[in-house]
Structure 1
Amino acid sequence: MQNGDEVAAAADATKTPIPEEVTKQSFRVKVWRHLEKNGLALFPRPVYNRIPNFKGAQEAAANLAKLDVFKNANSVKVNPDKPQEPVRVMCLEQQKTLYVPVPRLQTGFLNRLVLPEGETGNAAIAKAVSRNGMETFGKSISIEDPVSLDLVVMGSVAVSKEGYRIGKGKGYGDLEFGLMMHMKAIKPSTLVVTTVHDCQVFDTLPAELFGPHDVPIDIIVTPTQVIETQRMSQRPTGIMWHLLSNRRIQMMPVLGQLRDIEMLSGCDCTLKEVDTDVEERAAVRARRIRRRTRSHKSQSEGEGGNTTEGEEGKAGKPRRAARRRNSAKGKDKDGKEERPRRQKRPRPVIDFSVKISNISPNTRVRDLKQALFERGVKPQIMVWKGFRGFCYLHFFKPGPQKGEGDSQPTMNMDSVLTALAQMSVGGSGGGGTGAAGAEEDEKPRLLCVEPAPPRQPRVPPAEVDVTPAPEVH
C-alpha cells in the first residue's frame, strides 16, 4: 500500500527552507492526481477541489467504529462530505447524537441530524445522511445553544503522522472548529479524528505551511491502519478575525453574529484590510483570459501563413486597401454602380426592466436562462452579475419582427413578475466537474424578483448577453 511520501517523494522532510513551489495546494494536487490516476477515486468525480471520496471509505469507517473513542462517544460532529457518509450512518445506527455543519455556513451553523418522522431502518438512515437529507431533517443549532461534543470527525485531503491536516482550501473546517470553541462545545477530552485513504497519509508535512488557525488531528483512520498522531501544534482557541475579510463575514452570517457578540464583550475583532481571496480569484480569471487570447491569436496567425522578417513579420495579415469612391454619386472607382448603403437599424428602446437578486455565487447563467425559458420569459438583454448575487432583465418595446407584419409577443411588467414568482435556482445536484463541481452542495435559492428602472444598460460588451430562447436538448 502506498503512503503519502510515495505520492510526493519530492516533498520529503528537510531541514532547509522549503521551496516556494511547495505549498498546501501542491500537496492537494498530488493527492488528487494520485487518487484519480490509480483508480482510487469514487463519486463525486473528479475529486479535484473536494474532500476526496476514496475506495475503502467504508472500511475506514468500520475501523473507526472499533475504537473506544467512538464507542464511548455520545455526541459526534461529522463533516458533510461524501467519504464521511459511512461514519454518519454508524452514528445514527448506534443512536448517537449527530451534528453536521451547514454547508459553507451560509444559512446557519450546525444541524442536529434526526431520522425522518415515523421512519426507521436502513432506508431512513440513508435518506437522513444524504446531501438533501442533512438539510431537510436537520434541526438547526445556533452558536447560543448548549452543545457538548465527545468526538469531532473531519474530512481531509492530506494529513501527516505529526497531526498536520490539509483540507480542500476553503477554510470551512477551521472556521467550524473556531465556532465550536466559542460555544465551548470542544472539551480538553474531545478528540479530532479523520478518515482517509492510506495514500493521503504523509510521514511529515512542512511545519512552515501551517498557522495557529489550522486544526490538528489526534487520530488518523485508514482502511488498513489506525495512527495516533504526535500532534505537533496546538488547537485554535477561537476565530482569528485578522485572517478574515469583510466579504467572508457577509457570506457567512453566523460569523457576523459571533463578531457582534465578541465586540460587545470588548474583544478585538479587526478584520484584514485586503481580501486576498478575491485577488486570487481575479488572478486565476486573468490567467484564463490570457490563455484564451493567446490561443485565438495563434490560430488566426496560423491561417495567414509564415512571415520572415522586418515589418512584414509584425504586420501579420495584410490590411485591406481602402476603397476609393468615384466623385460621381452612386459609382465606385471603376464607374460601376454601388449598392446602396444599408441604413443603420434604430436602437431598440427598453420598455421595462426587472432585477433578480439572491442569486448564489455558484449559479451559472445557463441555469437561470433555462429557468426563464421554462416559465416563458424571454428578455432581449440580460446583464449578468451573478457573482455579486443579482442580474437585470431588459425587455424592448414591441415592434414588427423581421420579415413579418405581426408584432412581437406582448410581455409586460405584471406578466413577467407573475411568471417569475417563487422561482428557485441553484444547486447542481452533484453533476458538476472540476472546480465548478466542487461548489455543488447548495440547495436551490428562492430568488427575489422586483421592478428596475428601464434604462439602457451601460456595461462592457462582455457583460451584455442578448438572450434568445435556449434550445432544450
Structure 2
Amino acid sequence: MQNGDGTPTAADTTKKTLPEEVTKQSYRLQVWRHLETSGLAMFPRPVYNRIPNFKGAAEAAAKLAELDVFKNATTVKVNPDKPQEPVRVICLEQQKTLYVPVPRLQNGFLNRLELPEGETGPAAIRKAVSRNGMETYGKPIGIEDSVTLDLVVMGSVAVSKEGYRIGKGRGYGDLEFGLMMHMKAIKSDTIVATTVHDCQVFDTLPAELFGPHDVPIDIIITPTQVIETQRMSQRPVGILWHLLSNRRVQLMPVLGQLREIEMLAGRACTLQELDTDVDERAATRTRRLRRRTRSHKSHSEGEGNTTEGEEGKTPGKPRRSARRRNSNKSAGKEPKEGKEGETKPRRPRRQRPVIDFSVKISNISPNTRVRDLKQALSERGVKPQIMVWKGFRGFCYLHFFKPSPQKGEGDTGAPAAASMDSVLAALAQMSLGGSGGSAPDGAADAPDKPRLLCVEPAPPRQPQPAAEVH
C-alpha cells in the first residue's frame, strides 16, 4: 500500500524491516515517525505519544458521514482527540446527540455536548467541539445514567484489516469502552469505527499482541477508502480489574466509583499488585540518571576535552571559542598560553578619587544660573572637579580632589598646587547676579548691584551622585 505521492506507508515499511522486538510500541513508533517524516502530521505536533492528527482528517470524517451507519445513528460517542474533531462538528451540524469522554477520565466520565439556544452557527459549533468548549457546553453524564449509543468513533495510532487497534498506549479508549459496557450503553449492534490516515492501516497485526481488554474495530475510514474489518477478536465485556493497579484507580475517580458498586454487588474486583506503568517510568528515570551521572563524571575527569598536539592546556578545560580565536587573528594577536593551573589576573577596579577639600559658596541669588557661576569661577582660575549645585536654596559646594601622581599632560583637573588657601583667595570678594542692594533715589533705571557671595571652607565629603554637576 502506498500514499498518493508514491511514498511507502508505515505498513509497507514494516513488511520490509521488522523491528527486533515486535510490540505495540514498535508499531506506534513506526507510524508516528512515518507521519512526521512524510509531512502528513498536523497540529498538535509532534504526534509522538498522541492519537496523531493527519492531513485528510476532514475528508475521512466526510466519508464517514456518507455511510448509512452514521446517517441512521442518533446518538454518537466520539473521542476528544484532534483528528476526530471534524466528526464532532458533523454530529452537531446534523443535530445528533454527541457524547465526548472527559480527557483522561480525571474529572468525570462523559459529557453530552449541547449548544446554547440560538447558537447553531459554524462558529458556535467549532467552539463547542474544542477542548475548552467541551468543558463549557458539556453536560456531565455518570456511570449510573441511562445512555444508549448507536455509533462509537475512536481514535487510533495503528489498525489492521482484521480489526485490531493500537492506541497511544495509555488505555483510555479501552477503559472508556469498558465503562460504557457496564452502563449497557453499547449493544450488540453498536458499530465501532475509527478515522485514520491510509498509512496507519496494516494488512495484519500479530494477534499475540492483543488481549481481552483491547477493543476491536468494525469499520476503518480513511480519506480514500472505507474498510469493513473481519473483527478477529471479541469485545471486552467490561472493566478487567485484574489488569488495573491501585494507582490507576486513584487517578480516575470514575473507576473507584464503579469498583465500589461492583464490590457492593459481591463481584470480585481484585487489582494487580504490581504497577507496571510506574515500574517502567522508574526504570526510564534510572537509565537517564545513569547517563547523566556518567556524562558528568567524564566531564569532571576531563575525558574527551584534550586534543593531540595541544600543549599547556589543562585537561577538562573548555577550548577557546572559534569567534574569540578569529578575533585575535584579525587583530594580529597571538593567543596566550598560560602555565598549568595559572589564570589570567583580572584588571583591578579603578579607585574612586578622594576629595581633598571643599568650599561652600552661599548668598547666591535665586535667579542665578549654574552656567553663570561656572563662568565666574573660570575667569578667576578656579576649576573644581565636582560642583554640587543648590542654587534654588542659595548655596553650592565645590569639591577638589587630591592630586594624583600618575596624571599626565592634558588633564583638565585642578592644578597640583591648588589648595584651600589659594581657592579662598581667588574667590574673595566675588559678586554675581543682581539684587545686591537697592538703587539710589531718583535712579530707577540704574542696574541692580551685584550680590556679594560668601565663600567659606566646608568639611570634605563625598557628594551625592544625583546632585553632581560636572
* TM-score, structure 1 normalization: 0.62
1:139 corresponding residue in structure 2: 139
Task: Please list every run of at least 4 consecutive aligned residues from structure 1 whose deviation after the TM superposition is greater than 3 angstroms.
Answer: 303-307
How far does residue 100 in structure 1 lie from its aligned partner after superposition?
0.2
- Per-residue deviation, 1:306: 8.3
Sort the Cα spacing of 1:114 and 1:141 in 2 relative to 1 into closer, same or farther, 3 A: same
Q: What secondary structure sits across from 1:190 in the alignment?
A: strand
1:98 deviation in Å?
Answer: 0.1
Q: Secondary structure, in 3 states, of the residue corresponding to 1:188?
A: strand
Q: Which residue of 1 aligns with 2:289?
A: 289
Give 1:302's aligned residue.
303
Distance change (3 Å), C-alpha of 1:10 and 1:239: farther
Task: Give the alignment of 1:14-53 within 5 angstroms.
Answer: 21-53=21-53
Equivalent residue for 2:14, pick from 8, 11, 25: 8
Give 1:79's aligned amino acid.
N
> Are the equivalent residues in 1 in contact too, given 2:107–2:253 (CA < 8 A)?
yes
What is the Cα deviation at residue 117 of structure 1? 4.3
Name the CA shift for 1:294/1:267 in 2 (closer, same or farther; >3 Å).
same
RMSD: 1.8
Partner of 1:130: 130
CA distance in 2, matches of 1:304, 1:199: 46
Are the counterparts in 2 of residues 242 and 270 from structure 1 also a CA contact under 8 Å?
yes
**Partner amino acid for 1:103?**
P
Q: 1:220 to 1:303 in 2, by over 3 A?
A: closer
Unaligned runs of 5+ in 2: 309-314, 317-470
- Taking a change above 3 Å as real, the CA distance of residues 11 and 146 of structure 1, as seen in their structure-2 partners, is farther
**What residue is the counterpart of 2:234 in the other structure?**
234
**1:261 CA drift (Å):** 0.6
Q: One-letter code of the match for 1:22?
A: V
Greater relative contact order (CA < 8 Å, ≥ 6 in sequence)? 1
Which digits, 9 at most, give the CA deviation of each residue in 1:174-208, with x for residues without a partner? 00000000000000010000000000000000000
Which amino acid in structure 2 is aligned with residue 8 of structure 1? T
Residue pair 1:152, 1:191 contacting (<8 A) in 2 also = yes
Residue 195 (1) aligns with residue 195 (2): yes
- Asked if 2 retains the 8 angstrom alpha-carbon contact of 1:4 and 1:203, the reply is no
Task: Say whether the 8 Å CA contact 2:153–2:192 is kept in structure 1.
Answer: yes
Deviations 1:122-155 (A, max 9, x none): 0000000001101111000000000000000000
Letter matched to residue 155 of structure 1? G
Q: Is residue 151–residue 192 contact of structure 2 (8 Å, CA) maintained in 1?
A: yes
Secondary structure in structure 2 of the residue aligned to 1:31: helix
- Quick check: 280-289 or 104-113, which moved more? 280-289
Q: What secondary structure is seen at the aligned counterpart in 2 of 1:284?
A: helix
Q: Structure 1 CA distance, aligned partners of 2:229 and 2:40? A: 24
Task: Describe the SS at the equivalent of 1:62.
Answer: helix
Where does residue 381 of structure 1 map in the other structure? none
Contact 2:9–2:34 (8 Å) recurs in 1: no
**Contact 2:10/2:34 (CA < 8 Å) preserved in 1?**
no
Q: Distance in 2 between the 1:159 and 1:63 partners?
A: 18
Aligned 1:255-266 pairs, distance under 5 A: 255-266=255-266
1:104 correspondence with 2:104: yes
Question: 1 CA distance for matches of 2:17 and 2:133?
Answer: 40
Identity across the alignment (%): 79
CA deviation after TM superposition for structure 1 residue 223, in Å: 0.4
Give SS of 1:6's match. Answer: helix
Letter in 2 for 1:247: R
Q: 1:20 to 1:242 in 2, by over 3 A?
A: farther
How does the TM-score come out when normalised to structure 2?
0.63
Task: Give the match's secondary structure for 1:237.
Answer: coil
User: Given that residues 143 and 183 in structure 1 are in contact (C-alpha distance below 8 angstroms), is that contact kept between their aligned partners in structure 2?
Assistant: yes
1:266 positional shift: 1.2
- Give 3-state SS (helix, strand or coil) of 2:303's partner: helix
Name the larger-Rg structure. 2
Structure 1 residue 4: Cα displacement: 3.9
- Spell out the pairing of 1:316-331 with structure 2 (5 A cutoff): none
Correspondence for 2:274: 274
Structure 1, unaligned runs of 5 or more: 13-18, 308-315, 318-473
Measure, in 1, the Cα distance between the counterparts of 2:295 and 2:267: 52
Please tell me the residue identity of whatever aligns with 1:302.
E
Residue 3 (structure 1) shift:
4.1
Counterpart position of 1:172: 172
One-letter amino acid of the counterpart of residue 44, structure 2: P
Residue equivalent to 1:55: 55
CA contact (8 A) 2:10 2:30 kept: no
